[in-house]
Amino acid sequence: MIKHKQIDTTFYQQDVLIVAPQLLGKIICLKADGTERYFFITETEAYRGEEDLACHCSKGRTPRTEAMYHNGGIFYVYLIYGMYYMLNIVTGSKNEPQALLIRGIKEFDKKTKKIIYDYNGPGKAGKILGVNQYLYGMSVFNNNNFRIYDVNYFETENRIETAPRVGINYAGMWKNKPWRFILI
């Protein structure tokens, strides 16, 4: 099944509003402790530019937001509420700060193709994927433990819903943008 290529860096250098919905259904292979676990992405959220008041970059370029100002294809990771590492993928091109948050994944068995567990919510998804600060700025494409394949394990056509983003009520008009993408 996994004879497919990984998604390469140029894909992530497109606009986040293109990349975020297209990642739905894509397969993540996680290598850890000599085993491989398989997931597919069920929910993403787009954060787009300094003008987007929900995006961390609306506060400008700081040590934390630095990664988002780079070319797409690297991880942007941060700790929230002292407990949860949020896994984001930087998109777009240099000095065009964007990222997408991975809000949900489902683990499946490679052989039986049955779904094992639903990690709904970015804290839970980050935890099961072993997300840590060490991932900050690392390439999504060139790393040993984490791969995203250019294949949808499940048919995603006509199965994508949009919704406003979660937890950003402070963002004025931006809070209503339908930049949350859900695989149904």
Q: Footprint of DNA on this chain (CB under 7 A)?
A: 45, 47, 54-56, 59-60, 62-65, 76, 78-84, 86, 88, 99, 101, 121-125, 165-168, 170
> How near is the Cβ of 81 to DNA at its closest, in Å?
4
Q: Which is nearer to DNA, 110 or 117 (CB)?
A: 117
**Is there a contact between 147 and 29 (Cβ–Cβ < 8 Å)?**
yes
The distance in angstroms from the start CA to the end CA of the chain is: 23
Pairing of strands 26-32, 84-90: unpaired
> How near is the Cβ of 4 to DNA at its closest, in Å?
27
Q: Which is nearer to DNA, 130 or 151 (CB)?
A: 130
Tokens of 3: 């004879």
> How near is the Cβ of 119 to DNA at its closest, in Å?
8
Q: Estimate to the nearest angstrom the gap between the alpha carbon of 4 and the chain centroid.
A: 20
- Outline where DSSP puts E strands in 81-179: 84-90, 98-108, 115-120, 146-152, 160-163
> How near is the Cβ of 5 to DNA at its closest, in Å?
26
Q: Which is nearer to DNA, 29 or 79 (CB)?
A: 79
Q: Which is nearer to DNA, 13 or 65 (CB)?
A: 65
> How near is the Cβ of 162 to DNA at its closest, in Å?
16
Beta bridge partners of 36: 31
Residue by residue, DSSP assigns 110-148 as: TTT--EEEEEESHHHHHHHTT--GGGTT-BSSS-SSEEE
Q: Which is nearer to DNA, 69 or 151 (CB)?
A: 69
